[in-house]
Structure 1
Amino acid sequence: MAVAGLHVGFMSSSCISFADTGILPRKSSPFTRFQRPLVMACLGNDPITEWILSEGKATQITRISPVGGGCINNANRYDTDAGPFFVKSNRSIGPSMFEGEVLGLNAMYETHTIRVPKPYKFGALPTGGSYIIMEFIEFGASRSNQSELGRKLAEMHKAAKSEKGFGFHVDNTIGSTPQINTWTSDWVEFYAEHRLGYQLKLIRQQYGDSTIHERGQRLAKNIGPLFEGVAIEPCLLHGDLWSGNITSDKNGEPVILDPACYYGHNEAEFGMSWCAGFGGSFYNAYFEVMPKQPGFEKRRDLYLLYHYLNHYNLFGSSYRSSALSIIDDYLRMLKV
């Protein structure tokens, strides 16, 4: 990962970069390297420092250094005498974005299955924008063990279910695109309306693409047959599982980062597989814990479609042909 400046964010929901998405970085920071006297002088204007030196149980911040490379959120490591902390901030977006991340990380953390960074605090910045403080995880040399990743991800899906149906406690973001998580009792309705339908609406608004909007809506209204004979439970999903959000800790255990969590059909977790590098050992281990359901292969591209549409919205028309190809294939298959 190349460091492009003092404050650099992570890029999520794309094969371009490492983990999250965000705004262009600030030119400089008043805190590049300092000792406690300077920290104490800034406490009143800096809720990040204030939390680290109180609830974070540190007495001194010895260094602040940028982490990663990207363009939407600033990401920094805070070294202290109580250990390191990972801090993301965004100068343009309010705390609601990080609220969704905190709720998602907590939900995954509480399953005690796959490792995720423990979130500590989020809030508003006095000068505008927001921040989140979380556990700093030392990454190992290898990205992850594929079979262990598959097994632990399946254990998380099996452990965390929702009695409210499909959705999440708050709306959140997939990359920087809003992700609507209104609780819905029926999965087909939820996926058609809040996943495919919402992305198609944004494409029409942003690009005026009536062709993909019309064909996509026709597909969304007719996906029911793809789920016949399938028992669908609302499992906790990471929601944005691509290679940049998958790594391992220094002990070689899989770690997943920067979620866009919601409760949905477990197969939807593989929607970024075209950008995640999942291999045979991953799927074999996963299906040992969560058995493969009838028609899995027929539904795979349907779940890829959501993320191709989102990439069209985020990065432009280079993703249009892939999305439209999937839509047209399904329209022919379903004869609608």
Structure 2
Amino acid sequence: MAPPAVFAEWIGGALAHTLGSGTRVSSVEPVAGNSRQTHWHLTLSDGSRLFAKSAPGGSDAFAAEADGLEALRRCSAFAIPRVIALIEEAGHAVLLLEHLALRRLDVASSKRFGEALAQLHAIEGTHFGWARDNYVGASPQSNAAQAHWPIFFAQHRLAPQFATAATKGYRGMLQEHGERIHDKIGAFFLGYQPKASLVHGDLWSGNVGVLDSGMPAIFDPAVYLGDREVDLAMSELFGGFPNSFYLAYREAAPLDPGYEARKQLYNLYHILNHLNLFGASYLRQAERMAKTLFDHLRN
């Protein structure tokens, strides 16, 4: 991570080129990032604030994120950080976003969040996928257009993750169960034909917040057109949201009775991704989920 003064000097020149010669950075504050990116709060000379993400290498991941944020802005029920600029110089990329002052969801804001998510999912397309590939975390995510949801999810979500797991040495029963799930995935969709809804794609508590006004906010998307249940499933994976969120969503957009079985299917994708990104601590969970799904297919 570059020292704040060095980053301020570098980004100041880039901002002046992008936003005008009168733009100056008066202060830079590093904030928690991740293993791939460094995050910063920037205060400009006019007192306005920006949120910056920087990373070495090309800008494709940031371009995908900017594309996803613009897609989410189609839903006026959410606050979405505006994309200010995407800068790439000397092998380094920076994504500049509007700074949103956010707090964690509480009971009241979670109810509003559930209602807003139902509105997002009401935005629909004619096929599954997206106009460009993007990323879920650091992992590439293929979004080639497909008319049939089970085929899309099997080919463009589960299959790449199982293949990556195999190359990392995670074989055995995990792969055997994975093959069965892939081949028989249609059994999870008997009598259920999901619509191609606009989904966030990576909806866990770390990617949401609320403004002081009570308006919910979402960010760090992995958007595509898919079964809306994928967002609901992931929202339950890592700690979940307050119950008022789920009650409000189900009141606005009731779920199909088969959701409980498909929830495991959808969350297997994210656990496999965590296995491939972060290692064997996720192996047992991935194996248990794959076996549960395998057993469901046998019954």
- Bigger drift between 101-110 and 291-300 goes to 291-300
The aligned runs of 1:70-219 (5 Å cut-off) are: 70-80=34-44, 81=46, 83-92=48-57, 94-124=58-88, 126-140=89-103, 142-144=104-106, 145-158=109-122, 160-163=123-126, 165-219=127-181
- SS of the counterpart of 2:237? helix
1:329 has 2:296 as partner:
no
Q: 1:50 aligns with which of 17, 25, 44?
A: 17
**2 CA distance for matches of 1:322 and 1:267?**
21
> Retained in 1: the 8 A contact 2:16–2:24?
no
Q: 1:246 aligns with which of 184, 197, 208?
A: 208
Aligned partner of 1:258 in structure 2 is 220
So what's the TM-score if we normalise by structure 2? Answer: 0.91
Deviation at 1:261, TM superposition (A): 0.9
Aligned partner of 1:68 in structure 2 is 32
1:225 has 2:187 as partner:
yes
Deviation at 1:127, TM superposition (A): 1.6
The aligned runs of 1:261-276 (5 Å cut-off) are: 261-272=223-234, 273-276=236-239
> Retained in 1: the 8 A contact 2:4–2:28?
no
Deviation at 1:59, TM superposition (A): 3.4
Distance 1:258-1:266 versus aligned 2 partners, 3 A rule: same
Query: For residues 68-101 of structure 1, what are the alpha-carbon distances to aligned partners after superposition, in whole Å with 9 as ceiling and x for unaligned?
Result: 2432211112211161111111113x11111111
Size of the aligned set, in residue pairs, is 295
**2 CA distance for matches of 1:47 and 1:59?**
10
Deviation at 1:208, TM superposition (A): 4.6
**1 CA distance for matches of 2:26 and 2:242?**
42
Structure 1 unpaired stretches of 5+: 1-24, 34-38
1:280 has 2:243 as partner:
yes
Higher helix share: 2
Q: 1:180 is matched by which residue type in structure 2? A: S
**2 CA distance for matches of 1:285 and 1:201?**
38
Q: CA RMSD in A?
A: 2.1
Structure 2 unpaired stretches of 5+: none
**2 CA distance for matches of 1:216 and 1:253?**
40
- SS of the counterpart of 1:147? helix
> Retained in 2: the 8 A contact 1:31–1:64?
no
- SS of the counterpart of 2:32? coil
Deviation at 1:49, TM superposition (A): 4.3
**2 CA distance for matches of 1:246 and 1:204?**
32
Distance 1:230-1:208 versus aligned 2 partners, 3 A rule: closer
> Retained in 1: the 8 A contact 2:78–2:218?
yes
- SS of the counterpart of 1:278? coil
Deviation at 1:32, TM superposition (A): 6.3
- SS of the counterpart of 2:213? coil
Distance 1:246-1:138 versus aligned 2 partners, 3 A rule: same
